[in-house]
């Protein structure tokens, strides 16, 4: 079942275009030429086993890996040589795998920390509509005292204020209870309706299949396959091989 | 005239006042060290020399331009703070990823150079700096005589310390600073210019030292070794309060000043060592310091 919207998107220029992205941690060469595109309004998921390079790809796009080469284009602007703060200013917001909630900041301060980089971000009220639990925890003294699910919602909620239209979500469901995972899924679909573009890293392709338009599969620091959500059923066998599930 | 525990009240309150004055300087200096350590991960051993630069800059400003105490109190911290920012940009920024030891060695070397230069031009003898006319004299409180300038030092130090605490713990700018202390990479990934924040933080910490130096000039005279004498005690204060703790630095600074003053009254022989004895005990019982968070 092909989403008619993604067909029209495909005809336009990509919002994010990554070409021959290579990255190193110290001496070890982690990414060996990663290529993928994300169209405006799409939810694209990077799948792959542990250590395939998914998170490193995301961090390299965000400028958080010291040594990287290739090309990362956002709305036609080359980001590969820019520091992370300028990449953020180009309109990319990042929600890290470890969530990155600050222990020395209370919940309110954590939520308000990322500066607005362009107009059009969600208001606090809109964020609390997506995450009603967060509003109840506003008085909480320390951001890290929240439950894992609440921390994840806080980590996603705070980047929605910034006005960035491209969100990088690194394993947002990791270690969470099924009911929380469902809520995260609902949130991602709501954000998609609000025309956010989302690049998702996931190991859990069942979860990914409830939100994603397209998939790229990674192995050994490279993209080895790609398909649309409509082709998922035909590719389940291959995916099981790729992911070892 | 009355007595407390067999001690004349004049002597007791006199030492208490000296304790509070010393505590004012301990608090200002250890606050600067705590702010710098928190953000830069560097133990700023040149802090004493930068405090001395504050005193000398006030002295030179008066000699060369006739600008007195009050203008100096504003201008000197800015000027010395700028020299700090230059040091951060040209030297310290290359050391953040290395062990604390490298920052300590570099700033220790800088301290020796700064003190050597001061000694070369002005000798080792103390240079007098007059109390500003508006703060000469004092108040007779009945139980003791309170010199106006000393009262001012205590009030000014408390004000600066509390304002700094407020900015760091209660404002948006402070939230950036605390977040960047915890996870600078992620704060950068939100679009915040962390390197510039670090430079300004070091400049501010150094400016605090210079501010203390200007305030100290009328009390202790200006001399090249004025910082070296004080900084050893201040480091003990920082260790007792807990490296990087803002509130710890302030409370410990004033508290230890008072304890030191009272020791002078009740057991004068121990007054020079009491702070170090406390430091040893705190290190044994609470290695992270009284207000420190375990890393």
- Encode pLDDT of B97-131 as tens digits: 888 899 999 999 999 999 999 999 999 888 999 99
The reported pLDDT for the residue numbered B98 is 87
Q: At what angle do helices B172-182 and B148-170 cross, to 10 degrees?
A: 70
Give the Cα separation of B267 and B260 in Å (integer): 10
Within an 8 Å CB–CB cutoff, is residue A114 touching chain B?
Answer: yes
Helix (H, G, I), strand (E, B) or coil at B196: helix
User: Which residue of B169, B172, B189 to mutate against A (max A Cβ within 10 Å)?
Assistant: B189
Nearest CA in chain B to A164: B190
The reported pLDDT for the residue numbered A7 is 47
User: Residue B167 domain-assigned?
Assistant: yes
Residue B84 belongs to what domain range?
23-101+129-223
Within an 8 Å CB–CB cutoff, is residue B189 touching chain A?
Answer: yes
Q: Record the tokens describing residue B52, joined without a space.
A: 């001395």
Q: How many C-alpha atoms does B175 have within 13 Å on its Cβ side? A: 18
User: Residue B135 domain-assigned?
Assistant: yes
CB contact under 8 A, B188 and A84: yes
* pLDDT > 70 fraction of chain A, expressed in percent and rounded: 95
Q: Record the tokens describing residue A96, joined without a space.
A: 């890290």
User: Residue B187 domain-assigned?
Assistant: yes
- Encode pLDDT of B15-61 as tens digits: 999 999 999 999 999 999 999 998 898 999 999 999 999 999 999 99
DSSP secondary-structure letter at B128? P
CB contact under 8 A, B191 and A105: no
Within an 8 Å CB–CB cutoff, is residue B191 touching chain A?
Answer: yes
User: What backbone torsions phi and psi does residue A170 show, to the nearest 5 degrees?
Assistant: -95, 105
Total domains in the fold of chain B: 1
Give the dihedral sign, CA B93/B98/B100/B104. Answer: negative
ipTM (interface pTM): 0.90
Other Cβ atoms closer than 10 A to B201: 22
- Encode pLDDT of A90-128 as tens digits: 999 999 999 999 999 999 999 999 999 999 899 999 999
- Encode pLDDT of B138-190 as tens digits: 998 888 889 999 999 999 999 999 999 999 999 999 999 999 999 999 999 99
Q: Average pLDDT for residues A207-220, to the nearest whole number?
A: 95
DSSP secondary-structure letter at B133? G
CB contact under 8 A, A100 and B183: yes
Burial B80-100 (b: 16+ CB within 10 A, else e): bbebbbebbeeebeebeeeee
Give the dihedral sign, CA A184/B180/B239/B19. Answer: negative
If we measure between CA atoms, which residue out of A235, A218, A228 comes closest to residue A43? Answer: A228
DSSP secondary-structure letter at B127? B
Q: Record the tokens describing residue B25, joined without a space.
A: 């300087």
The reported pLDDT for the residue numbered B5 is 74
Give the Cα separation of B117 and A135 in Å (integer): 58
pLDDT at A40 over 60: yes
Rounded alpha-carbon distances, angstroms, from residue B294 to A129, B169, B234, B242, B245: 37, 19, 21, 9, 11
Pairing of strands A28-38, A16-25: antiparallel
Domain spanning A4-243, CATH class: alpha beta
* pLDDT > 90 fraction of chain B, expressed in percent and rounded: 79
Within an 8 Å CB–CB cutoff, is residue A62 touching chain B?
Answer: yes
- Encode pLDDT of A140-185 as tens digits: 778 888 999 999 999 999 999 999 999 999 999 999 999 999 999 9
User: Residue B283 domain-assigned?
Assistant: no
Helix (H, G, I), strand (E, B) or coil at B130: coil
B-chain residues within 8 Å CB-CB of A90?
none
B-chain residues within 8 Å CB-CB of A100?
183, 186
Contact A186, A139 (CB under 8 A): no
User: Residue B85 domain-assigned?
Assistant: yes
User: Which residue of A94, A113, A161, A169 to mutate against B (max B Cβ within 10 Å)?
Assistant: A113
Contact B50, B216 (CB under 8 A): no
Within an 8 Å CB–CB cutoff, is residue A118 touching chain B?
Answer: no
Contact partners, residue A203, CB within 8 Å, separation at least 6: A47, A48, A49, A50, A171, A174, A243
User: Residue B201 domain-assigned?
Assistant: yes
User: Residue B232 domain-assigned?
Assistant: no
Give the Cα separation of B65 and A223 in Å (integer): 69
A-chain residues within 8 Å CB-CB of B187?
113
Higher pLDDT, B229 or B171: B171
């Amino acid at each position: 079942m092909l989403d008619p919207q993604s067909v029209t998107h495909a005809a336009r220029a990509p919002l994010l275009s990554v070409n021959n992205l290579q990255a190193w941690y110290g001496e070890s060469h982690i990414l060996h030429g990663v290529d993928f595109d994300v169209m405006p309004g799409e939810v694209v998921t990077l799948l792959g086993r542990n250590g395939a390079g998914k998170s490193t790809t995301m961090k390299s796009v965000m400028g958080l890996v010291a040594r990287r080469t290739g090309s990362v284009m956002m709305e036609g602007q080359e980001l590969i040589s820019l520091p992370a703060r300028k990449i953020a200013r180009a309109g990319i917001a990042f929600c890290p795998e470890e969530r990155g909630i600050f222990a020395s900041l209370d919940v309110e301060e954590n939520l308000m920390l990322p500066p607005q980089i362009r107009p059009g971000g969600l208001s606090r009220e809109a964020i609390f509509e997506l995450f009603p639990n967060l509003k109840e925890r506003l008085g909480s003294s320390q951001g890290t005292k929240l439950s894992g699910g609440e921390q994840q919602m806080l980590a996603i909620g705070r980047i929605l204020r910034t006005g960035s239209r491209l969100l990088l979500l690194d394993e947002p469901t990791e270690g969470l209870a099924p009911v929380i995972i469902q809520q995260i899924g609902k949130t991602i679909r709501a954000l998609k309706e609000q025309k956010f573009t989302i690049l998702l890293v996931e190991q859990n392709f069942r979860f990914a299949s409830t939100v994603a338009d397209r998939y790229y599969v990674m192995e050994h620091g490279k993209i080895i396959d790609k398909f649309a959500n409509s082709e998922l059923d035909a590719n389940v066998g291959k995916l099981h091989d790729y992911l070892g599930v | 005239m009355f007595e407390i525990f067999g001690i004349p009240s004049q002597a007791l309150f006199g030492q208490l006042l000296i304790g509070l004055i010393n505590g004012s300087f301990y608090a200002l200096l250890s606050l600067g060290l705590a702010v710098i350590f928190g953000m830069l991960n560097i133990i700023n051993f040149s802090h004493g020399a930068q405090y001395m630069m504050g005193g000398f800059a006030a002295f030179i400003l008066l000699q060369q331009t006739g600008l007195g105490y009050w203008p100096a109190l504003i201008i000197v911290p800015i000027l010395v703070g700028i020299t700090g920012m230059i040091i951060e940009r040209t030297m310290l920024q290359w050391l953040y990823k290395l062990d604390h030891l490298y920052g300590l060695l570099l700033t220790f070397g800088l301290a020796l150079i700064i003190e050597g230069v001061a000694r070369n031009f002005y000798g080792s003898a103390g240079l007098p700096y007059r109390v500003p006319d508006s703060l000469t004299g004092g108040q007779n409180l009945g139980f003791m005589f309170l010199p106006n300038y000393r009262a001012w030092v205590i009030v000014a130090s408390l004000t600066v310390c509390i304002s700094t605490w407020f900015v760091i713990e209660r404002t948006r700018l402070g939230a950036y600073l605390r977040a960047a202390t915890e996870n600078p990479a992620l704060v950068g990934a939100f679009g915040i210019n962390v390197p510039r924040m670090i430079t300004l933080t070091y400049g501010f910490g150094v400016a605090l030292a210079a501010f203390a130096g200007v305030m100290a000039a009328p009390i202790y005279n200006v001399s090249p070794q004025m910082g070296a004498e004080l900084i050893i005690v201040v480091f003990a204060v920082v260790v007792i309060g807990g490296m990087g703790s803002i509130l710890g630095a302030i409370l410990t600074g004033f508290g230890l000043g008072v304890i030191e003053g009272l020791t002078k009254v009740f057991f004068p022989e121990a007054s020079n060592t009491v702070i170090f004895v406390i430091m040893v005990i705190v290190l044994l019982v609470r290695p992270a310091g009284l207000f420190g968070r375990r890393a």
